[in-house]
């Protein structure tokens, strides 16, 4: 309780500090040595209402007066500036068009823009260059390049940017919600009680317009839509976007220093962990494994994004039962076949030879980093910055078969095309499955862990206990004000008269603690890893260690100083490593007078300010079931090991950049240890590790205060709707229905 009060006070103090500096401007004075909060405020100004010219006079003035051609000396590389000017004069993506992450032309221009920002000599030059760009280039491209530069510039460390769903809500919010916001903007929120009740709209005294996300058309194309509450979660998609921002596939130049980190392994393990986490969510619905994509098959997993872009274009729907390969994408399919064959052959041979003759070793344990970079970026097939082949993007292009360039720049993206939306599409998970299977193949070529590598002499885990694990659906209010345009009066006031909020339902769970009792014969530093994973498969069969190793989710890992004798380790889920709470409303810091009661959690966890990339705390646990989903928790305590690293990897760089994902900053054992390789089951279990059974209970909030337990075992979704959380769409099964379902399953088999 004391910690919560303290963090709440710190949150208020931070808001007041920013409010006191709200009038800070980008004037004539140099901004090279200003404090982090002032830098943060200046960055927020540049990202506010990105679809319109900036409302801030100082930004406009700097953009008008700053002449890049007269300031070559303020950049570290002249050639970067000259090349940008050449590209800029030739013509860049027009303002108003959609910036697409898989479009080669768009990305080439974004990289040129990023380099301009990255190679600015100091923060003053960086922010003035950003002002220049903010008013001249495409808004989406600016957000991408600017965000990436903030992630990687040393003088921007500590700056927390607004969440991407606040900057550009279109990629995160269903189209019917955006449409209602525009409707309210047009009629200036003139109250029509009957209409508001129908649309689920509420207006508060503080000019908060709340739109109920659930008051819309519920539609589905496949059973994967049962998991839409998870795959379309705004924080999960932010996690994916920020993972890309930390290690962009095109950032292969050693100048950026990210090649000194375990970038390939981190990205690959991030993909594998997302797949494992989805696997647990599928078990909550008795759904089986994720199948990898097969390009020669018919794709029967359709997807309806329900996203309308700011141009008015709808993100395309992919129907069921579509032939993947056709005359339009055959070339991309051939590229995938050739590259995958080349990589798999390299795994067998133990080396990868590029066209320029450079040989990349793929023999040792630490060489997994090389393979991961080949697959996911950081190392080109050809040793040339202009010829990076990103195989994930090629897969995405294959599935964009229904989209064509209307003219030189116009491109309507699919959900797969954007890092902010790709997790929404069930097909992307199948692409990830195929990519990670190549990594699994490499791990199979490595020797199994020996008992010496697994054990920790003198250390024994006596017991593992947890609080009751309970999940539920709660409400969250998402600020979507940046999705509507400011009128002339609001531009003069520099803010919207009304705040538009989308009220959504999302998966959450009660905070819990994990208690670990450890006996140690001596005082020693150790690494503790905590996993949760399945006990049974979707058919109720007991899984052994090798069956479930790729489905184990690492929820926590940390250093711990063991003392001689009994040690009681207590880990609160809110304090687990690489886990962050809800991101706060940026608007809360702009206007501290705003009444935000019941709109978001007022507690700010200090870790939020330490790392931009973190897995959402809300999603640590899968949904579970009413009777309790049977899972297992695994804890292993190992000594600190620092021997298995590539010569280029530098832990100091990762610590300095606050890129400490999982155990990369204090231990060099492979990520996912000990589940990253197949194990000898006769030698696996030692005293320093322990499995324990756990259950995850689903709390149905709609019956929480009335009927405590509702038997829905004989209920199914209506055939035209698989929206799992809508109880009004559940119907009782008759005997005839059961027989028809059984016959249908037998027919498909």
The CATH number linked to 519 is 2.60.40.1520
pLDDT at position 421 over 50: yes
Lowest mean pLDDT among 183-187, 663-667, 722-726: 722-726
CA–CA separation, 521 and 688 (whole Å) = 12
How far is the CA of 646 from the CAs of 362, 367, 661, in angstroms? 12, 7, 17
Which CATH number is 297's domain given?
A: 1.10.1280.10
494 within domain boundaries: yes
CA–CA separation, 252 and 377 (whole Å) = 7
Q: Do 359 and 282 sit in the same domain of this protein? A: yes
Buried b (16+ CB within 10 A) or exposed e, 668-691: bbbbbbbbbbebeeeebebbbbbe
- Tell me if 520 sits within 8 A of 564, measured CB to CB: yes
Number of domains comprising the chain? 5
Residues 6+ apart with CB under 8 A from 119: 75, 76, 77, 80, 81
- Tell me if 250 sits within 8 A of 107, measured CB to CB: yes
Q: Do 189 and 268 sit in the same domain of this protein? A: no
pLDDT for position 20:
38
Q: Do 335 and 370 sit in the same domain of this protein? A: yes
Q: Do 369 and 266 sit in the same domain of this protein? A: yes
In angstroms, how far is the first alpha carbon of the chain from the final one?
55
Q: Do 547 and 498 sit in the same domain of this protein? A: no
* Region 103-130 average pLDDT: 94
pLDDT at position 644 over 60: yes
Lowest mean pLDDT among 220-224, 603-607, 718-722: 603-607
Q: What size, in residues, is the chain?
A: 749
168 within domain boundaries: no
**Stronger pLDDT, 86 or 612, i.e. the higher one:** 86
The model's confidence at residue 597, banded by pLDDT at 50, 70 and 90, is very low
pLDDT at position 746 over 50: no
pLDDT at position 282 over 90: yes
pLDDT for position 25:
65
715 within domain boundaries: no
Q: Bridge partners of 327?
A: none
Instruction: Please state, for a pLDDT cut of 90, what percent of the chain lies above it.
Output: 56
What tokens does 617 get? 């705390």
Lowest mean pLDDT among 183-192, 399-408, 420-429: 399-408
How far is the CA of 227 from the CAs of 33, 279, 383, 431, 696, in angstroms? 47, 11, 41, 17, 17
Q: Is the peptide bond before 674 cis (omega within 30 degrees of 0)?
A: yes
Q: Bridge partners of 34?
A: none
Per-residue pLDDT reduced to its tens digit, 23-38: 566 656 666 678 888 8
Q: Bridge partners of 502?
A: 211, 478
pLDDT for position 87:
95
The model's confidence at residue 381, banded by pLDDT at 50, 70 and 90, is low
Helix runs in 350-471, H state only: 368-376, 391-398, 426-444, 451-454
The model's confidence at residue 164, banded by pLDDT at 50, 70 and 90, is very high
3-state secondary structure 680-710: CCCCCCCCCEEEEEEEEEECCCCCCCCCCCC
Q: Do 687 and 728 sit in the same domain of this protein? A: no
CA–CA separation, 92 and 95 (whole Å) = 9
| Boundaries of domain holding 729 | 721-748
Instruction: Please state, for a pLDDT cut of 70, what percent of the chain lies above it.
Output: 83
The model's confidence at residue 371, banded by pLDDT at 50, 70 and 90, is very high
421 within domain boundaries: yes
3-state secondary structure 518-541: EEECCCEEEEEEEEEEECECCCCC
Q: Do 40 and 123 sit in the same domain of this protein? A: yes
pLDDT at position 492 over 80: yes
- Tell me if 239 sits within 8 A of 266, measured CB to CB: no
SS3 517: strand
Helix runs in 200-255, H state only: 228-231, 234-246
Q: Do 57 and 203 sit in the same domain of this protein? A: no
CA–CA separation, 138 and 98 (whole Å) = 8
pLDDT at position 693 over 50: yes
Query: Between the ranges 57-71, 320-334, 561-575, where is the mean pLDDT highest?
Result: 561-575
Q: Bridge partners of 359?
A: 353
- Tell me if 50 sits within 8 A of 56, measured CB to CB: no
The neighbour count for residue 360, using CB atoms within 10 Å, is 16
pLDDT for position 411:
86
The alpha carbon of residue 313 and the mean position of all alpha carbons in its chain are separated, in whole angstroms, by: 25
Output the CA angle 197-202-205, nearest 5 degrees: 145
Which CATH number is 63's domain given?
A: 1.20.1370.10
459 within domain boundaries: yes
Q: Do 290 and 408 sit in the same domain of this protein? A: yes
Backbone angles phi and psi of 728, in degrees to 5: -70, -15
Average predicted confidence (pLDDT) for the chain: 84
pLDDT at position 737 over 80: no
Q: Do 236 and 343 sit in the same domain of this protein? A: yes
pLDDT at position 600 over 60: no
CA–CA separation, 157 and 42 (whole Å) = 14
- Tell me if 428 sits within 8 A of 483, measured CB to CB: no
**Stronger pLDDT, 716 or 131, i.e. the higher one:** 131
pLDDT for position 310:
93
SS3 359: strand
The model's confidence at residue 244, banded by pLDDT at 50, 70 and 90, is very high
* Region 698-723 average pLDDT: 51
pLDDT for position 527:
96
Q: Which helix (H) or strand (E) holds 304?
A: none
| C-alpha torsion sign, points 658, 663, 667, 668 | negative
CA–CA separation, 634 and 529 (whole Å) = 8
Lowest mean pLDDT among 55-59, 324-328, 433-437, 507-511: 324-328
pLDDT for position 530:
97
Place of tokens 């050639």: 79
What tokens does 285 get? 């619905």
What tokens does 36 get? 């982090």
CA–CA separation, 268 and 340 (whole Å) = 16
Q: Do 38 and 147 sit in the same domain of this protein? A: yes
Per-residue pLDDT reduced to its tens digit, 522-548: 999 999 999 999 999 999 999 999 999
pLDDT for position 723:
42
pLDDT for position 34:
81
285 within domain boundaries: yes
Per-residue pLDDT reduced to its tens digit, 423-436: 999 999 999 999 99
CA–CA separation, 577 and 620 (whole Å) = 12
* Region 149-161 average pLDDT: 92
CA–CA separation, 749 and 747 (whole Å) = 5
* Region 432-449 average pLDDT: 94
Secondary structure letter of residue 718 according to DSSP? -
599 within domain boundaries: no
588 within domain boundaries: no
**Stronger pLDDT, 391 or 434, i.e. the higher one:** 434
Lowest mean pLDDT among 281-285, 344-348, 580-584, 602-606: 602-606
Q: Closest by alpha carbon to 222, among 290, 320, 294, 87?
A: 320
* Region 11-28 average pLDDT: 47
CA–CA separation, 12 and 250 (whole Å) = 39
Q: Bridge partners of 513?
A: 572
pLDDT at position 388 over 90: no
Backbone angles phi and psi of 59, in degrees to 5: -65, -45
Query: Between the ranges 235-239, 322-326, 335-339, where is the mean pLDDT highest?
Result: 235-239
Lowest mean pLDDT among 131-135, 227-231, 355-359, 597-601: 597-601
Residues 6+ apart with CB under 8 A from 237: 165, 171, 172, 420, 421, 422, 423, 424
pLDDT at position 74 over 90: yes
CA–CA separation, 477 and 596 (whole Å) = 10
Strands (DSSP E) contained in 467-522 are 469-479, 499-509, 513-520
CA–CA separation, 344 and 42 (whole Å) = 48
Q: Is the pTM of this model over 0.85?
A: yes
Q: Do 73 and 207 sit in the same domain of this protein? A: no
* Region 400-428 average pLDDT: 83
């Amino acid at each position: 309780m004391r910690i919560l009060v303290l963090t709440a006070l710190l949150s208020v103090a931070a808001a007041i500090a920013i409010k006191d500096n709200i009038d800070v401007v980008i004037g004539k004075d140099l901004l090279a040595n200003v404090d982090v909060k002032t830098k943060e405020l200046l960055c927020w100004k540049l990202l506010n209402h990105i679809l319109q010219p900036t409302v801030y006079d100082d930004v406009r003035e700097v953009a008008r007066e700053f002449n890049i051609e007269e300031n070559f000396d303020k950049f570290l590389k002249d050639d970067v500036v000259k090349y940008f000017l050449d590209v800029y004069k030739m013509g860049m993506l027009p303002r108003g068009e959609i910036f697409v992450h898989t479009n080669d032309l768009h990305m080439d221009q974004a990289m040129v823009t990023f380099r301009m920002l990255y190679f600015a000599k100091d923060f003053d030059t960086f922010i003035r260059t950003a002002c220049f760009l903010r008013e001249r280039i495409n808004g989406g491209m600016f957000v991408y390049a600017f965000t990436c530069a903030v992630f990687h510039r040393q003088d921007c460390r500590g700056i927390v940017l607004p969440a991407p769903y606040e900057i550009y809500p279109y990629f995160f919010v269903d189209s019917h919600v955006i449409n209602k916001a525009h409707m309210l903007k047009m009629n200036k929120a003139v109250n029509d009680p009957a209409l508001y009740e129908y649309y689920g709209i509420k207006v508060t005294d503080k000019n908060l317009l709340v739109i109920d996300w659930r008051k819309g058309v519920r539609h589905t194309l496949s059973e994967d839509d049962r998991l839409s509450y998870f795959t379309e979660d705004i924080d999960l998609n932010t996690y994916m976007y920020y993972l890309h921002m930390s290690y962009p596939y095109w950032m292969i130049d050693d100048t950026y220093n990210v090649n000194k980190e375990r970038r390939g392994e981190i990205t690959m393990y991030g993909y594998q962990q997302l797949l494992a986490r989805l696997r647990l969510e599928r078990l909550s619905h008795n759904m089986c494994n994720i199948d990898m994509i097969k390009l020669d098959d018919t794709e029967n997993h359709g997807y309806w994004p329900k996203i309308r872009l700011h141009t008015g274009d709808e993100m395309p729907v992919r129907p069921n039962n579509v032939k993947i390969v056709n005359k339009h994408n055959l070339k991309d399919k051939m590229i995938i076949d050739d590259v995958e064959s080349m990589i798999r052959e390299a795994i067998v041979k133990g080396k990868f030879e590029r066209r320029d003759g450079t040989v990349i070793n793929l023999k040792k344990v630490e060489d997994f980093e090389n393979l991961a970079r080949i697959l996911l970026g950081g190392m080109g097939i050809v040793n040339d910055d202009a010829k990076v082949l990103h195989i994930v993007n090629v897969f995405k292009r294959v599935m964009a078969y229904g989209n064509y360039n209307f003219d030189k720049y116009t491109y309507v993206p699919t959900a797969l095309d954007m890092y902010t939306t790709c997790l929404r599409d069930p097909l992307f998970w199948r692409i990830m499955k195929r990519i990670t299977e190549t990594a699994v193949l490499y791990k199979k070529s490595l020797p199994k862990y020996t008992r010496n590598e697994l054990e920790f002499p003198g250390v024994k885990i006596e017991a593992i206990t947890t609080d009751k694990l309970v999940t539920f659906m709660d409400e969250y209010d998402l600020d979507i004000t940046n999705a509507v345009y400011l009128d002339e009066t609001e531009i003069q006031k520099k803010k919207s008269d009304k705040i538009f909020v989308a009220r959504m339902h999302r998966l959450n769970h009660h905070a819990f603690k994990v208690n670990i009792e450890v006996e140690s014969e001596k005082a020693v530093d150790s690494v503790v890893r905590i996993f949760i994973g399945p006990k049974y498969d979707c058919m109720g069969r007991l899984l052994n260690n090798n069956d479930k190793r790729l489905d184990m989710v690492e929820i926590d890992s940390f250093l711990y100083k063991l003392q001689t004798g009994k040690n009681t380790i207590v880990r609160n889920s809110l304090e687990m490593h690489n886990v962050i709470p809800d991101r706060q409303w940026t608007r809360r810091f702009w206007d501290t007078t705003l009444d935000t009661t019941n709109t978001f959690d007022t507690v700010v966890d200090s870790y939020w300010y330490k790392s931009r990339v973190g897995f959402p705390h809300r999603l640590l646990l899968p949904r579970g079931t009413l009777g309790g989903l049977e899972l297992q928790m695994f804890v292993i305590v190992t000594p600190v090991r620092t021997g298995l690293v590539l010569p280029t990897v530098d832990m100091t760089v990762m610590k300095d950049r606050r890129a400490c994902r999982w155990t990369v900053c204090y231990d060099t054992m492979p990520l996912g240890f000990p589940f990253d390789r197949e194990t000898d089951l006769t030698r696996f279990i030692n005293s320093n590790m322990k499995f324990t059974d756990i259950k995850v209970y689903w709390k149905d909030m709609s019956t929480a205060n009335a009927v405590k337990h509702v038997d829905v075992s004989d209920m199914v979704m209506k055939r035209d709707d698989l929206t799992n959380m809508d109880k009004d769409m559940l119907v009782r099964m008759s005997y005839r229905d059961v027989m028809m379902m059984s016959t249908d399953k037998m027919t498909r088999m």
